[in-house]
A = this chain, B = another copy of it.
Amino acid sequence: MSHELLSKVGSYDFLVEPFHCDFSHRIFIGHLGNHLLNAADFHSNERGYGMDYLNTVHKTWVLSRFVMEMQEMPIAYDRITVDTWVENVMKFFTSRNFAIRNSNGNTCGYGRSIWAMIDTETRQPVDILAERDGLITAYIEDEKPCPIEPFKRVRLSKDAKTAKVIDTHYSDIDVNGHVNSVKYIEHMLDLWPLDWYRQHRLTRIDIAYTAESYFGDRLHLIVEESADGEFDIQIMKQSPNSDTLKEACRGKIKFCEM
């Protein structure tokens, strides 16, 4: 299968569905994140280095880091466009950026992500550049701006407290057989009551994914306020019949007052 060279930046339209919005009629950041991951999937499939191709050679993309920074949250019934492009490719990692525009043409925010490619049998990283003679490098777009800060390091002190322990359920587990990346975001945001969201708007979320968690794992959410309106959160997984906690992901969430 040969692929005609397409544009480096792919643009995908999504309707902001009413039931994907919170009480304030703004899209839940988890659903927005899902649109970004869909855009990544469409973009890479259309260009020949997506899951469609990788599955045939027993490889897959794994999301390693994800950040979204929003000036404005799209509201119900708006039609948004997600632009996505590959900013850089190295042997074991590639960075993919996102811009989110609403139907007025305003940019609502940006995203950054870092992905690894793994062999689905060994679960070990593989050389991205070796795949299809480095096809992905034909699509590097390093001039389109993505004016948000790179990933922030998340570091919790020893005093950080476990805020909640939750069980994983059938609906947490996605096509890959493990807890869906976006579900961790939902679980983090569910730490705050509705009243908090009446007075605060999420402006930025950084997540680093460390290890996959599975059905039956219990998730321990450890939280620390690192600055005013800024929270570091670590999600530790506890496998059934085990007392050991291992990190699944860690994130930083920033709110501003409304």
Contact = CB atoms under 8 A, between A and B. Distances in A.
Interface of A: 17-19, 21-23, 25, 28, 30, 34, 37-38, 41, 51, 76, 169-171, 173-175, 177, 180, 182, 186, 189-190, 192-194, 196-197, 215-216
Report how many copies the assembly holds.
Answer: 2
28 contacts: A18-B51, A18-B174, A19-B34, A19-B37, A19-B38, A19-B175, A19-B182, A22-B171, A22-B173, A22-B174, A22-B175, A23-B174, A23-B175, A23-B177, A25-B175, A28-B171, A30-B171, A76-B175, A170-B189, A170-B190, A170-B192, A170-B193, A170-B196, A171-B186, A171-B190, A193-B216, A194-B215, A194-B216
Contacts of A17: 34, 38
A105 B25 CA distance: 35
Contacts of A174: 18-19, 21-23
Nearest to A24: B175
Contacts of A21: 174-175
A38 to B, nearest CB: 6
A127 B17 CA distance: 28
In this complex, which of A19, A186, A197, A216 has the most chain B Cβ atoms within 10 angstroms of its Cβ?
Answer: A19
Given A23-B177, A194-B173, A18 B30 contact: no
Contact of A194 (B18, B170, B194): B170
Nearest to A21: B175
Contacts of A173: 22-23, 194
A196 B215 CA distance: 12
Contacts of A192: 170
Contacts of A169: 190
